[in-house]
Amino acid sequence: MRVLLLLALVAPAGAASLEARIEKSVARGVEFLLSKFDRKKGWGGAMGTGTYGNQGVAYPYSAGPTALVSLALLKAGVPSDHKVIRRAFSFLRTRHRTPGVAYEISVMIVAVAEYAGAKRSPDYRARERRAQRSTGRFKLPEGSPLKKQHWTWLVDLTRKLLNFQAKNGGWRYYPSDFHSGGIADVSSTQFALLALSTASRCGFDVKREVFERARAFLIASQSAKGRLVPRAIHVPGGEPDAMDQARGFPYIQKSTVLPYRRVSGGMTAAGVASLLLVRQELGSDEELEKAIRDGFAWMGRFFTVKVNPGYAPFLRGSYHFVWLYALERCGDMAKRELIGERSWFAEGADYLMSAQEKSGAIADPTCMNPHDVLGTAFAILFLTRAHRPVSGG
């Protein structure tokens, strides 16, 4: 299976037992998710626990969970022609081809690209490839292995997501979603940038100014000050005693709702991962590098895999596995096995495997329903190190 081969590349010597445990855990999680697919409902709407404050019904949609689980299964090595995968994308294509919420659109873009064969595609972010990119529904980039039906789907989703970008450069649920004191939030923005980076890599011509505006939003969203702490991501030849400011990210920096202004691990990892994606598109500069280092410094100072650290924006310790998924993207995009002195992947993998149930589910009770399905999907994305190697690289 792809998981074991991937782990063999990234695991240190003597870690065979960890590799084997992860392989077994992922296989059990895959079987659980496959068993939960429903032809009429996909993997279900994220309903039941309610939105902010855990009141009422939240997100009665099916596209987001179904796309997320499909992505996790593909990253775990389930072939694209598996009957459940084919049924899942048929369900998405026929009933939810272009959903209306930024989260769902974003996850759909990444899932569709993976399903369409992004791993076989040249990386169109490369300088020599950029001129070959396209925005046409029926004009595939030169050399693209994608089928036309997948390319048109990807284009329609990407165009819609671009129209959701707010004036300040970030994203929110809807283009006209102005509640809670902000027209954009770090959480929606992280998924939007992951999607746009994926589309860019596959050959969609996402304009430079889109990422420049997102960069400005992220820089403005990070805490202005932070305690000086030892550098969390040391590099060979770097200063041994270097210090950085531990500056994290809140959900919405200037929200009228106090909890949304509090910094958390999930939002800090989301912000740093987003900055790393922006760096891939725009290149590096000192302001950007400092923001990244300071974000890692916050994660190093408050590091834990047992809970979403800091002040969670909604519930105490909420969206635990979303924090771990963002942590995975940070560690792998930055090519760091340690954050501070902590082995983030080994600790996170041990935690997730210890939480696995007999059914194979790895439920996240701090997430929205279905806890078991969404939690298992995020856990598999972490355990398979879904952002490494980067599809299309």
Joined tokens for residue 246: 């531990």
- Give the span between the Cα atoms of 75 and 241, in whole angstroms: 38
Structure tokens at 357: 């149930």
Q: Check pLDDT > 60 for residue 315.
A: no
* Per-residue model confidence (pLDDT) at position 46: 56
Query: Which among 280, 279, 253 is positioned nearest to 267, based on CA atoms?
Result: 253
Q: What is the pLDDT of residues 76-102, one digit of tens each?
A: 999 999 999 999 999 999 999 999 999
Per-residue pLDDT reduced to its tens digit, 147-184: 999 999 999 999 999 999 999 999 999 887 766 678 99
- From the list 189, 172, 161, the residue with the least C-alpha distance to 270 is 189
Report the run of H or E that residue 160 belongs to, with start and end: helix 148-163
Q: Which amino acid is at 210?
A: V
pLDDT in tens, 10-41: 445 445 699 999 999 999 999 999 999 999 88
pLDDT of residue 5: 45
In whole numbers, what is the pLDDT of the chain averaged over residues? 89
